[in-house]
Amino acid sequence: MIDIVMCTLGKRTTLPVALRCLENQRIVNKIFVVSPHDLDIINSYRNTELVKEDDVSCLAWARKKGISYCRSKYLAFVDDDVLLHKEHLSKLHKKLIEWRKKYARPVVEGVLTTLSIQKMDYPRIPYKSKILKRGERGFTHNTLFLRETISDWNPPFIHVYEDLHLTQFIHSKGGIWLRYLQDVPSFHFSDHSEYSRKRWVFANVREQRLMGHKKVFNDMFRNLIYGLRLTLANNDVRFLVQKFKGTRGTMHGFYNWGQFVKLVSRKD
């Protein structure tokens, strides 16, 4: 059986459906909802427990607190804007057991279909099955772990990219992180504009030193040209405006990355 850790502020409209999707997973034992707020809604779902968290905490610390409540052999993080197919976790569990015959500490990440509430967004290329290399970032909002593999994870206070830190932690312990295309329709609802997505992404590439100034400007130039092509093809200037905003997000994230990626020393 699997324990679930869901960290939430309780503000997303998808939360009730996300919890119902988890409730319908026949392999789930207990759902721990970590939140700084009192959420009466969770009383409507079986095997669901509220874990109160400090309202000044970060996602890494909230997830660590959720881990401490788990008792099942396996656990998974699921976000409040992720709607899982009823077979999603079962397929990941089956794959994890298969990989345990090869590796001591496997981690299996399921692939989600991203749906955006932004009207001008276009479908993004879906992820493919692969083994993540050292330095690559796994996405933890739909991923299955052996509890013993991450029970001793002790993250710093991380402003963002706690999943990158956890991926590095798994690799440092000799673990294998598999991104697995499980062939069931599970969805992640994105409410970020292209401006917001770009600034987060390029804060990340600056942090990891994956891009220099030349590549950043090349990306911005290609982005604007693509927006112009979409505008001409659809006779709608909003496509170019959208890409222009994305370009601004690129610059903001790359040159102000310290606002997005930072480790803060704090006392318990």
Q: How many DSSP H helices and E strands does the chain contain?
A: 8, 13
CATH code: domain 2-190 is: 3.90.550.10
User: Collapsing DSSP states into helix, strand and coil, what is residue 33?
Assistant: strand
User: Collapsing DSSP states into helix, strand and coil, what is residue 3?
Assistant: strand
Give the span between the Cα atoms of 224 and 231, in whole angstroms: 10
Q: pLDDT tens digits, the chain, 268 residues: what are they?
A: 899 999 998 888 889 999 999 988 889 999 999 999 888 888 888 889 999 987 778 889 999 999 999 999 999 999 988 899 999 999 999 999 999 988 888 999 988 877 766 666 665 666 788 999 887 888 888 899 999 999 999 988 887 778 888 999 999 989 999 999 888 888 888 766 778 778 888 887 887 777 888 889 998 999 899 889 988 988 888 888 888 988 998 998 888 887 776 655 444 3
User: Collapsing DSSP states into helix, strand and coil, what is residue 8?
Assistant: coil
The ranges assigned to domains in the chain are: 2-190, 194-264
